[in-house]
Structure 1
């Protein structure tokens, strides 16, 4: 399941990032790495507000599709 498909107000572990090098590097600078906890705070239009390492970020639909979560 990708972040895009996951329910809001739920915490998951990141299984892997499936993206090109530019997006992967960007997500890693935010702290989105394998086996890291990620919480989906809310979904507003085509943007997801997430919490990673006690920091909130807004990401768009395309980036949300690149984050694969553990079931």
Structure 2
């Protein structure tokens, strides 16, 4: 994430970690690998709870909207 985007999130009163997680989910979906972290056991320890919440909330919403 670039500094300009981080400042934009902060000015809006957002949570940078949460937004980073959402953007990572968007990137993984665009790359065709939305389940990349499904079996990773230590996500919260590595990225933090806000990042994980942002990631999985976005990814799960995408999965619901794109059911076969």
- The two structures have a TM-score, normalised by structure 1, of 0.28
Bigger fraction of residues in helix: 2
Between structure 1 and structure 2, the one with the greater Rg is 2
- The two structures have a TM-score, normalised by structure 2, of 0.29
Bigger fraction of residues in strand: 1
